[in-house]
Amino acid sequence: MGCFKFFSVYVSFLFLFVAFRVVVSGDRTDDGLITSDRASLLSFMSGVTSDPGNALQSWNSSDLHVCNWTGVACNDARSAVVELDLSGRSLRGTISPALAGLSKLTILDLSNNFFEGCIPAEIGSLVELEQLSLTCNFLEGAIPSELGSLRKLVYFNLGSNKLSGDIPEEIFCNGSSSLEYVDLSNNTLTGEIPLRDECELRALRYLLLWSNVLVGQVPPALANSTRLQWLDLESNMLSGELPSGIVHKMQHLQYLYLSYNDFVSHDGNTNLGPFFSALANSSNLQELELAANKFGGEIPANIGNLPGNLGQIHLAENLIHGSIPPQISNLVNLTLLNLSSNFLNGTIPTELCRTKRLERVYLSNNSLSGEIPSALGDLPHLGLLDLSRNKLSGSIPDSFANLSQLRRLFLYKNQLSGMIPPSLAKCVNLEILDLSHNRLSGTIPDEVAGMRSLKIYLNLSSNYLHGALPLELSKMDMVLAIDLSSNNISGTIQSQLGSCIALEYLNLSGNILEGALPVSIGHLPYLQALDVSSNRLVGAIPKSLQASPTLKQLNFSFNSFSGNVSDDGAFAALTVDSFQGNTGLCGSIKGMRACKKRRHYQLVIVPILLSLVVTPIFCIFGYPLALRSKIRQKLPSFSGGDMVDEEKQEIKEHKYPKISYQQLMEATGGFNPSSLIGSGQFGHVYKGVLQDNTRIAVKVLDSKTAGEISASFKRECQILKRTRHRNLMRIITICSRPDFKALVLPLMSNGSLERHLYPSLKLNQGLDLFQLVGICSDVAEGVAYLHHHSPVRVVHCDLKPSNILLDDDMTALVTDFGIARLVEGGDNGVPPYDSASFSSTDGLLCGSVGYIAPEYGMGKRASTRGDVYSFGVLLLEIVTGVRPTEVLFNECSTLHEWVKSHYPHNLDPIVQQALSRCSSPSMPKYFRKAYCEVIVELIELGLMCTQYSPSTRPSMMDVAHEMSRLKQYLSDPSSQEMEATSSKG
């Protein structure tokens, strides 16, 4: 997250510094200072291990002038090194104190690598240094106080490392006011912010200290930084009153983030008015985040006096009470309003509906009452409305039909009554509809039941709905979950529900449904949970449910089911609790009564004189009985050849031996550095070979990190072991001791996608477009599984080419040697399908520069839409052949912006360049045309995935579907071309 924050500012600074460089061609013999600089660089290189592409290969050339080395720039006389930029080169090792010998250095950028150890105090002697960036490494220890000697420093970034201890006072108080950008975020720094009253940072424009353990109050001396534009102190332990006196002088302030601290309001925690008054001078303020603090009082009327540019305001998770003031409608540019989880009461003011640019409104978990204003239906851009967990009454407004952009509507746990308006079906983009736990009555409208736009879930549970299940439910072929439980729905369950092919969760419990359970339910390919308890269902439980390879949770209790139930297949993990209240059931489920054995009698042929009497009786009763007995003997057994895939996989896994610590030591040569193949957020990865010649990769968790997550280590690893998909790296086993924790994975010999994308990595063979689309399709399928189908929802958080490995068949496997973040649904009653309920592992989110979603840079929590953004960057990178970290986009700060500046009228240069890299000159014309079409579609999909607003990005399921379509088209474009030609003729 910190790696992305203000990357545009970093780019602008870099351009400012390199604008004065003049590259002079020709060789020159090393003498004087340049000879000393060369020695310093070689000493630095001796402690560095580059990636397999050998990023520092040019440094080994005795014929190459030092000024022509990779990442090195000299002054115009080529007499001294003035710039060392090795950012994003996958370097590992330690930072040598020998860098202090580069006495004329003005830029030192080693960001986005794998450097470990401490920051050398000797860097403080580089008195000419103007830019220092060591962000996104694994540096630890304290920040050297000697860095306070860098009085010419303008850009100072140590964010996203493992630094600890107090911030040295000398950093802020060294008699210099040149600092404009300071980022120490995402570390474990402690103590107070060391800014004394006599210290002045008048040039400071960006101060980022989020995600540390800082305490105390915001220092009053910060008020001297009147040019401050971005102040981010989120996720610390800061306290005291909100800093009204400080922000009052910051007229240039654009972004203020103070969430997740312990701030209180004025006048004994009762008055927010002074703080809002202080912000009125900040005419450029765009985002204000004050969530999850401890301040109380009411929302004052002067909230309407906040700057007119304000686009987002977060006041959630505080102690605010009272009503929502109508003056909030003065914020005409507001796009996001979050007042959830407070103690607000009164009605929702109709004046709120005057803010026509609102896109997301969160008012959940308060005590709001009265009716929902129908004027909310007049907000043309509203994409999310969350009014859940309040005391709202009345009916659902028909005006919601006007919300053409509405994607998510949460009205659950209120006191709403009346019927579900059929006009909701006009919300053509609605993906989530949750009206559960209200007092709604009537039948489920056919129009609502047939909404094909619902792609995540429909929840109408715990209401007073009656009537039959609408046949139109079968049209929801993309919905993941349907919950109609605890109503009065009657009739039968239609077999057409088997058309909801994406369904994972179906709950019809607590109704008065009758008849048999359709066999088609068991054929749903992704169904994981089914609850039909407390109904009036009869007959046998379909064998198709038992044979389902995906079902994990089942509840048939309190019906009138009958027949024999075995403990095979999907029923193997069930107990009698799933079958209670069905007196007609028997079988081998633990705790269930055993079935009586059927006795077989030999039929005796009676004398022919009685045949005329006996034969009709036999035809009616005896022959069907005998026929059923023969058929039963021929039926396949689920314990043999029809064993479900999961059971087979478990048996297969038992072939893996338990791997001890000593075996791992032997396999990796004692975790020799020569076996090191990668590093990540939590440790290092080594390659190795077991005694049975199994090639493995061993991720050894850093001892400090392992300690932080030891309580959940085994649980998470077991969940990951159950995560099965052909495009995800599987964990073979774990090795866990009090002082050592490791994950053991299969080793992929074909390397990462990154090694196939860039010629600098000396790869002999490139990839054509068909292979690249296939790889991207594999990645999309794997990540879609993580988001939508895995036992627990997983957000990867670090999708990039180096985390995509290729097997012998060039099938892509997504990995970060452990799969980054496990997430669960919130406790708000929202199922885990909602990305808004995801939360990242606190303090551990980083990712990689260029791939991180912009909302992460603002302290937002991890979500599936963040992965979609990273995948979009990957697509644009593949098409353009440009790393997102390369600074060549002129005034554009991201790869998305650069590509978008060419779209749609100036794409031809990008398309032709991609075509030359990913195709053969001898390719037939119709293939070249197909390739061009696919390249354009990849660009369009990449731009859609990298949109700034997460709510406007597609889901990964939609992305996977689109990639599959492109893959299928590329597999035979000639036939489609010929079909098109023949149709024209």
pLDDT tens-digit series, residues 476-498: 888 889 999 999 999 999 998 98
> What is the full DSSP assignment across 188-234?
EEES-----TT---TT--EEE--SS--EEPPPGGGGG-TT--EEE--
User: Within a 13 Å sphere around the CA of 273, how many CA atoms are in the beta-carbon half?
Assistant: 9
Q: Name the least confident of 101-115, 835-849, 904-918.
A: 835-849
Cα separation of 530 and 782, whole Å? 24
pLDDT value for 894: 79
Cα separation of 887 and 869, whole Å? 19
The length of the chain in residues reads 985
Cα separation of 913 and 919, whole Å? 10
User: Within a 13 Å sphere around the CA of 51, how many CA atoms are in the beta-carbon half?
Assistant: 21
Q: Name the least confident of 426-440, 815-829, 901-915.
A: 815-829
Q: Name the least confident of 148-162, 218-232, 633-647.
A: 633-647
Cα separation of 66 and 28, whole Å? 10
User: Within a 13 Å sphere around the CA of 36, how many CA atoms are in the beta-carbon half?
Assistant: 12
Q: Name the least confident of 202-206, 264-268, 671-675, 892-896.
A: 892-896
Instruction: Name the pairing type of β-strands 794-795 and 695-701.
Output: unpaired
Rg (CA), the chain: 32
CA distance from start to end of the chain: 55
Listed in sequence order, the residues at least 6 apart from 464 whose beta carbon sits closer than 8 Å to its beta carbon are 439, 440, 441, 487, 488
> Phi and psi dihedrals of 680, rounded to 5?
-140, -170
* Tokens at 45, concatenated: 């290189």
pLDDT tens-digit map of 321-349: 999 999 999 999 999 999 999 999 999 99
Any alpha helices (H) in 88-206, and if so which ranges?
169-172
- The single-letter code of the amino acid at 143 is I
With 80 as the cut, is the pLDDT of residue 633 above it?
no
* Tokens at 940, concatenated: 């369009």
Residues known to be catalytic:
798
When pLDDT is cut at 50, 70 and 90, the band that residue 816 belongs to is low
With 80 as the cut, is the pLDDT of residue 705 above it?
no
> What is the full DSSP assignment across 440-507?
EEEPPPHHHHT-TT--SEEE--SSEEEEEPPGGGGG-TT-SEEE--SSEEEEE--GGGGG-TT--EEE
| Average pLDDT of the residues in 634-651 | 31
With 90 as the cut, is the pLDDT of residue 269 above it?
yes
Q: Name the least confident of 106-115, 343-352, 778-787, 828-837.
A: 828-837
> What is the full DSSP assignment across 725-746?
-TTBPPP-EEEEETTEEEEEEE
With 60 as the cut, is the pLDDT of residue 29 above it?
no
Listed in sequence order, the residues at least 6 apart from 834 whose beta carbon sits closer than 8 Å to its beta carbon are 408, 432, 456, 457, 825
548 closest CA partner among 519, 576, 575? 519
pLDDT value for 31: 58
pTM above 0.85, yes or no: no
* Tokens at 616, concatenated: 């009709």
With 80 as the cut, is the pLDDT of residue 856 above it?
no
pLDDT value for 965: 87
Percent of the chain with pLDDT over 70: 79
With 80 as the cut, is the pLDDT of residue 595 above it?
yes
Cα separation of 141 and 3, whole Å? 20
Higher pLDDT, 879 or 597: 879
Extended beta strands in 271-372, E state: 287-289, 296-298, 312-314, 319-322, 336-338, 343-344, 360-362, 369-371
Burial 163-202 (b: 16+ CB within 10 A, else e): bbeebbbbbbbbebebbbbbbbbbbbbeeebbbeeebbbe
pLDDT tens-digit map of 562-580: 999 998 898 988 889 899 9
* Tokens at 425, concatenated: 């079906």
Dihedral (CA of 371, 374, 379, 382) sign: positive
Cα separation of 55 and 57, whole Å? 6
Cα separation of 959 and 871, whole Å? 9
* β-bridge mates for residue 737, sequence order: 740
**Residue 376 C-alpha from the chain's centroid:** 30
Contact between residue 522 and residue 548 where contact means Cβ atoms under 8 Å apart: yes
Any alpha helices (H) in 392-456, and if so which ranges?
446-449
Residue 767: Cβ within 10 Å count? 19
Contact between residue 439 and residue 463 where contact means Cβ atoms under 8 Å apart: yes
Instruction: Name the pairing type of β-strands 287-289 and 312-314.
Output: parallel
pLDDT value for 79: 87
pLDDT value for 925: 64
CA distances from 118 to 144, 260, 485, 504, 586 (A): 9, 29, 58, 49, 67
Higher pLDDT, 762 or 394: 394
pLDDT value for 102: 94
With 80 as the cut, is the pLDDT of residue 4 above it?
no
* β-bridge mates for residue 563, sequence order: 585
pLDDT value for 792: 64
With 60 as the cut, is the pLDDT of residue 1 above it?
no
733 closest CA partner among 704, 701, 698? 698
pLDDT value for 445: 95
Cα separation of 16 and 8, whole Å? 12
pLDDT value for 763: 40
> What is the full DSSP assignment across 692-725?
T--EEEEEEEPHHHHHHTHHHHHHHHHHHHT---
Torsion angle, CA of 437/439/443/447, rounded to 10 degrees?
A: -60
Cα separation of 936 and 946, whole Å? 15
Mean pLDDT score of the chain, rounded to an integer? Answer: 81
| Average pLDDT of the residues in 97-107 | 94
Contact between residue 511 and residue 531 where contact means Cβ atoms under 8 Å apart: no
Q: Determine if the peptide bond prior to 904 is cis (ω within 30°).
A: yes
> Phi and psi dihedrals of 78, rounded to 5?
55, 35
With 80 as the cut, is the pLDDT of residue 295 above it?
yes
Cα separation of 871 and 297, whole Å? 43
pLDDT value for 708: 44
Contact between residue 389 and residue 828 where contact means Cβ atoms under 8 Å apart: yes
> Phi and psi dihedrals of 380, rounded to 5?
-70, -25
Q: Name the least confident of 19-23, 277-281, 552-556, 725-729.
A: 19-23
Q: Name the least confident of 82-91, 602-611, 713-722.
A: 602-611
DSSP 5: T
When pLDDT is cut at 50, 70 and 90, the band that residue 620 belongs to is very low
Cα separation of 880 and 912, whole Å? 10
- Domains along the chain with CATH numbers: 1-225 (3.80.10.10), 443-593 (3.80.10.10), 650-747 (3.30.200.20), 751-976 (1.10.510.10)
- Highest mean pLDDT of the ranges 14-18, 340-344, 425-429, 791-795: 340-344
Q: Is 699 annotated as a binding residue?
A: yes
Return left, alpha or beta for 74; rule: phi > 0 is left, psi -120 to 50 is alpha, else beta.
Answer: beta
pLDDT value for 435: 97
